[in-house]
């Protein structure tokens, strides 16, 4: 891996989600930057990461899960059962007592969390914001038409900076154009091996649901990230999948 003076943006133009995953694996092995994580998940481990990537998927419904060729001893990064479960996660606000948030909560039952002192003990109070973003976007397009740039669903909040594990997905922007609903996504950080196929698979199912409710066709996904990466435990798997087993990563 060579040293650089400037960021190196990468553009992936993919047919479906399987193609997008394979192209990203292939590109990151050639263009990724290796560094040691100083804060966050897998602290002190090495990560291979794009400087910035824009992934366009023209037909995301065609092949939602990655295809592992027969004869490759590689575990599939996800499957449709998992993605169907992930869809339920995205469409409900349910979370466990140990979770600060879920994507589903932020989408359909967002809450502001504030600290309160109760009898000398610090407590977290959650204030419902009364905004199901998925249903509001559907309503906006149905009632006001498609000539708007306001139909944006937000995952991130300013207070996330104080969390140990802030959301990776920050924005789900939407557009209806040429008779179809399109998603434009931003991930601040994104695991390419396991997270990418599961996240996009689940979000594709959300998009299909919303398109049907709005009464339009199912369109493209465009995802951008300055943090799409491979953890070092998956480097060899990525090299096997892309037939780059002789490639050295330092």
120 pLDDT band, cuts 50/70/90, is: confident
- What does the pLDDT read at residue 2? 57
Task: Please state the rounded mean pLDDT for residues 133-149.
Answer: 98
Judged against a pLDDT cut of 60, whether residue 1 lies above it is answered with no
248 pLDDT band, cuts 50/70/90, is: confident
Judged against a pLDDT cut of 60, whether residue 138 lies above it is answered with yes
pTM of the predicted structure, to 2 decimals: 0.93
**How far is 91 from 191, CA to CA, in rounded Å?**
22
Window from 1-15, 99-113, 171-185 with minimum mean pLDDT: 1-15
DSSP summary character for residue 157: -
Judged against a pLDDT cut of 90, whether residue 246 lies above it is answered with no
| Environment class of 61 (CB within 10 Å of its CB; exposed 0-12, middle 13-18, buried 19+) | middle
CA angle 29, 80, 166 (to 5 degrees): 60
| Environment class of 58 (CB within 10 Å of its CB; exposed 0-12, middle 13-18, buried 19+) | middle
Judged against a pLDDT cut of 80, whether residue 229 lies above it is answered with yes
Whole-angstrom CA distances from 227 to 70, 90, 177, 205, 249 are 31, 22, 28, 24, 18
pLDDT digits (tens, 9 = 90+) for 36-95: 999 887 888 899 999 999 999 999 999 999 999 998 989 999 999 999 999 989 999 998
Quick check: 160 and 166 in contact, CB under 8 A? yes
């Amino acid at each position: 891996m060579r040293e650089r003076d400037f960021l190196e943006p990468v553009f992936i133009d993919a047919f479906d989600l399987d193609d997008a995953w394979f192209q990203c694996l292939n590109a990151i092995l050639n263009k990724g930057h290796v560094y040691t994580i100083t804060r966050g998940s897998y602290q002190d481990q090495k990560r291979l990461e794009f400087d910035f990537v824009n992934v366009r998927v023209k037909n995301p419904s065609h092949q939602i899960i990655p295809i592992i060729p027969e004869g490759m001893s590689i575990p599939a990064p996800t499957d449709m059962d998992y993605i169907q479960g992930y869809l339920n996660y995205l469409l409900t606000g349910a979370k466990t007592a140990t979770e600060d948030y879920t994507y589903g909560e932020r989408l359909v039952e967002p809450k502001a969390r504030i600290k309160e002192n109760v009898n000398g003990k610090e407590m977290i109070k959650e204030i419902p914001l009364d905004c199901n973003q998925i249903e509001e976007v559907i309503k906006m397009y149905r009632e006001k038409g498609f000539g708007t740039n306001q139909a944006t669903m937000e995952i991130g909040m300013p207070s996330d900076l104080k969390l140990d594990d802030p959301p990776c997905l920050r924005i789900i922007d939407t557009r209806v154009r040429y008779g179809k609903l399109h998603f434009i996504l931003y991930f601040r950080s994104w695991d390419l091996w396991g997270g990418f196929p599961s996240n996009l698979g689940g979000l594709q199912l959300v998009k299909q649901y919303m398109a049907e409710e709005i009464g339009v066709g199912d369109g493209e996904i465009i995802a951008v990230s300055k943090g799409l990466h491979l953890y070092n435990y998956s480097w060899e798997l990525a090299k096997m999948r892309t037939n780059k087993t002789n490639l050295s990563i330092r």
